[in-house]
């Protein structure tokens, strides 16, 4: 407990420095008036160009797609030089009360021959009668793994993560290479005007060309080492080089959010049963219970950008076995947003529960800049620890710049700190949840 207390004090100290910067910005802006959503990045560009014709259309047009594009160029030792981009889109597929649909496409290439392609979507058709959710991925990837459960005792300090990718070398992780093809697609239908949906879909993950880089099974070798991945795979009769899950997903959900990409009020809740079926020799039968809950509480009638937001998601293994890399893990939710303060995959479990709270607030009167403060907890089980026996804590703060005021699309920059002495910086389009 004393060690955890010391880590928390360290996290709070680091977070305080960033909060001081936010406080200075807030004092510089004095009082935020009722002027909301009046300026975004395109307005700033128009001012630079001295465009004499201001944009006065403040209504979303049915059938028009609103795009926001973020180029990505950078470097990280774990990935080499990387180049790519992120495209966010929003679109109304019908007249009100049809909800605004949103989607995201990410594409990255790295000098270490990595390929990262993600496409996610949440689409409401006319009158919200049908709701479609998709998560498609193609990865040629490298990532360390750390075993099951919450294991902090052996962690070494990592100076920085950039979008969940390691920016410094680590000694506690077990490096791996693998390819992943993911196809998740779900269709739900609304019952009348109840805002209750029932749906069915598929959830397929195929991991292949898996290379466990620290693995050495030669007993006489000085480098003899059995990795967590190999031990788990052999114990549960999975081929450690290739495996997959083939799930049929049944979902009940409700959604009252005023907008998906950046909610000011409302809630979202879903409960799913995933039945993984055995197809071929590289998969097994299993059942999982999944849930995802989000609630947004507006704090100001004058300025709706003052919001308390709450997020909880969980994956509970009911029976059967799931391949190691397909087990629930930090940063592997649909939008790769969980676990700010930790590297993607830092925590993994047979079952996992993740909770996060965030305070969102405006910084500039024009609505161009905003900020957030957040805290999260992660619980994960293994064969000796139950799911709530140990907890990993993350804290942080972030800055927002409004890219598209109609679609409420923000460029987000977050700084997170974890109780294993890790820290991270995260760049994204759209809010974390």
Where residue 393 falls among pLDDT bands split at 50, 70, 90? very high
* Residue range 197-246, pLDDT digits in tens: 999 999 999 999 999 999 999 888 888 899 999 999 999 999 999 999 99
The mean pLDDT value for 9-36 works out to: 48
| pLDDT score of 27 more than 90 | no
Where residue 422 falls among pLDDT bands split at 50, 70, 90? confident
223 exposed, middle or buried (CB, 10 Å; 0-12, 13-18, 19+)? exposed
The mean pLDDT value for 376-393 works out to: 95
Q: What is the pLDDT of residue 420?
A: 80
| pLDDT score of 425 more than 60 | yes
The mean pLDDT value for 24-28 works out to: 46
What's the DSSP call for residue 421?
Answer: S
Read off φ and ψ for residue 145, nearest 5 degrees.
-120, 160
More confident residue, 12 or 289: 289
Beta strands in 92-231 (DSSP E): 101-110, 115-124, 130-145, 161-162, 165-166, 174-190, 196-212
Q: What is the pLDDT of residue 79?
A: 54
Residues 376, 13: contact at Cβ < 8 Å? no
| pLDDT score of 112 more than 90 | no
| pLDDT score of 278 more than 70 | yes
For the chain, report the end-to-end CA distance as a whole number of angstroms: 31
DSSP β-bridge partners for residue 134: 121, 185
| pLDDT score of 399 more than 80 | yes
The mean pLDDT value for 277-289 works out to: 95
* Residue range 141-155, pLDDT digits in tens: 988 899 999 985 444
| pLDDT score of 50 more than 70 | no
Cα 392 from Cα 160, distance rounded (Å)? 18
Q: Which domains does the chain show, CATH number per domain?
A: 2-429 (2.40.160.50)
Q: What is the pLDDT of residue 19?
A: 53
* Residue range 98-108, pLDDT digits in tens: 988 999 898 98
| pLDDT score of 24 more than 70 | no
Residue % of the chain over a pLDDT of 70: 81
More confident residue, 76 or 333: 333
Cβ-proximal residues to 416 (8 Å cutoff; 6+ apart), any chain: 340, 341, 342, 374, 394, 395, 396, 423, 424, 425, 426
| pLDDT score of 3 more than 70 | no
* Residue range 310-363, pLDDT digits in tens: 999 999 999 999 999 999 999 898 878 899 988 888 999 999 999 999 999 999
DSSP β-bridge partners for residue 394: 376, 418
Q: What is the pLDDT of residue 165?
A: 56
- The tokens for 78 are 């774990």
DSSP β-bridge partners for residue 185: 134, 202
| pLDDT score of 25 more than 50 | no
Cα 120 from Cα 132, distance rounded (Å)? 11
Q: Please, how many CA atoms are within 13 Å of residue 409, restricted to the half-sphere of its CB? A: 25
402 exposed, middle or buried (CB, 10 Å; 0-12, 13-18, 19+)? buried
Q: What is the pLDDT of residue 201?
A: 97
Residues 103, 88: contact at Cβ < 8 Å? yes
Cα 190 from Cα 129, distance rounded (Å)? 5
The closest alpha carbon to 161, from 353, 356, 344, belongs to: 344
Q: What is the pLDDT of residue 315?
A: 97
Q: What is the pLDDT of residue 158?
A: 44
More confident residue, 354 or 365: 354
**Average pLDDT value for the chain:** 84
The mean pLDDT value for 381-402 works out to: 94
């Amino acid at each position: 407990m004393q060690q955890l207390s010391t880590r928390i004090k360290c996290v709070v100290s680091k977070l305080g420095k960033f909060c001081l910067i936010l406080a200075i910005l807030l004092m510089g802006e004095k009082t935020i008036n009722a002027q909301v959503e009046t300026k975004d990045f395109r307005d700033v560009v128009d001012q630079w160009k001295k465009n004499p014709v201001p944009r006065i259309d403040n209504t979303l047009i049915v059938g028009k797609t609103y795009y926001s594009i973020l180029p990505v160029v950078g470097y990280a030792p774990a990935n080499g030089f990387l180049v790519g981009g992120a495209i966010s889109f929003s679109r109304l597929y019908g007249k009100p009360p049809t909800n605004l649909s949103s989607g995201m496409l990410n594409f990255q290439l790295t000098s270490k021959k990595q390929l990262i392609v993600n496409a996610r979507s949440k689409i409401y058709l006319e009158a919200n009668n049908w709701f479609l959710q998709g998560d498609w991925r193609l990865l040629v990837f490298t990532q360390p793994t750390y075993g099951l459960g919450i294991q902090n005792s052996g962690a070494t300090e990592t100076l920085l993560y950039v979008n969940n990718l390691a920016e410094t070398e680590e000694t506690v992780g077990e490096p791996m290479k693998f390819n992943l093809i993911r196809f998740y697609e779900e269709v739900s239908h609304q019952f009348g005007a109840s805002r209750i949906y029932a749906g069915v879909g598929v959830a397929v993950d195929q991991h292949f060309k898996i290379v466990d880089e620290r693995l050495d099974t030669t007993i006489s070798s000085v480098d003899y080492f059995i990795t967590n991945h190999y031990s788990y795979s052999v114990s549960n009769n999975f081929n450690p080089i290739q495996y997959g899950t083939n799930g049929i997903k049944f979902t009940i959900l409700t959604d009252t959010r005023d907008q998906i990409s950046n909610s000011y009020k409302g809630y979202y809740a879903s409960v799913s049963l995933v039945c993984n079926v055995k197809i071929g020799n590289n998969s097994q039968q299993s059942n999982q219970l999944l849930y995802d809950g989000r609630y947004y509480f507006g704090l100001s009638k004058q300025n709706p950008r003052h919001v308390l937001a709450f997020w909880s998601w969980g994956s509970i293994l009911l029976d059967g076995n799931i391949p190691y890399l397909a087990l629930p893990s930090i940063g592997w939710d649909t939008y790769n947003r969980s676990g700010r303060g930790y590297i993607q995959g830092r925590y993994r479990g047979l079952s996992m529960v993740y909770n996060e709270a965030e305070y969102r607030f405006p910084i500039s009167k024009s609505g161009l800049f905003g900020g957030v403060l957040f805290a999260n907890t992660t619980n994960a089980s293994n064969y000796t620890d139950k799911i709530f026996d140990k907890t990993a804590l993350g804290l942080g703060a972030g800055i927002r710049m409004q890219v598209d005021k109609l679609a409420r699309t923000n460029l987000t920059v977050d700084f997170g700190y974890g109780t294993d002495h890790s820290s991270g910086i995260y760049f994204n389009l759209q809010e974390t949840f």
